[in-house]
Chain A
Amino acid sequence: QGANIGFGGAEHDSSLPVEITADQLDVSQADGRAKFTGNVVVGQGEMRLTGAVVDVEYGESATGETEVKRLHASGGVTLFNGAEAAEGQEAVYTLETGEVVMTGDVVLTQGENAMAGEKLTVNLDTGTGVMEGRVRVVFQSQDAQGAQGDGQ
């Protein structure tokens, strides 16, 4: 039946390792930061986060190794997680809480349905989220979807 607009479809675990590819990388050991620029793609499990520039903050994990604490993507960002996709100007992903906060003309689409607003706060682990600002939800009613042969 109708695909879900939320993020609960695909299970996600924010403690999985994070791979980041980019055209260029500048590292500053002093304050544990790294700046990826140029077609940056951040991958974690099924989730993909892309952006023009991604600042990564590292920190001590419980077991003492350095790991990624926070990612700050900007300059036009997209977030894919299974069937859902969200676009915005900026996004901050805090791995500890599994929460992504995307701001700036955010558009969340899922098949024919789409939601647009100013600020989207999504928890990848629980699949819940909140869109704020003058939110517009556009959705195909059941029969209209059927009519367009977009059968599930």
Chain B
Amino acid sequence: CGFTPAYAPGGSAYALRNQILAEAPSSTEEYAFVVQFEDRLGRTSDAAPYLLTYSITTETDGLAVTSDQETLRYNLSGEVRFTVTDRASGAVLTSGRTESFTSYSAIGTTVATRASEKSASERLMVILADQTVSQLLATAGSWQP
């Protein structure tokens, strides 16, 4: 059916693990994104051939407003734009953009809502990192020299 194992020898992403250094995070959200990216494609050192740069934007919208104006659910939507560059030549090998959302409810106590909000943000970063890795895996054949 035309599919081949990505990480098998000769597979398109065989030589992709531990090759991409993610740009250093500067916020809690970015930290979670980089941890998930490293867990999926492996950590690397400063000698890595490729660099992943990313810019993440998130937005919170209130939902489920009750008749006494209480907002009981929030949607956290997020978008990441990323590029992979060849660190030697600085050439952009591939780039992409992906978007998703997570949500959390605000019915519980203040600390419950606070914990749910933090968890929603971490889950969103996991999703965005996974979707970034999927695109890199799927298209590795065409951009990895």
Chains A and B directly touch (beta carbon < 8 Å): no
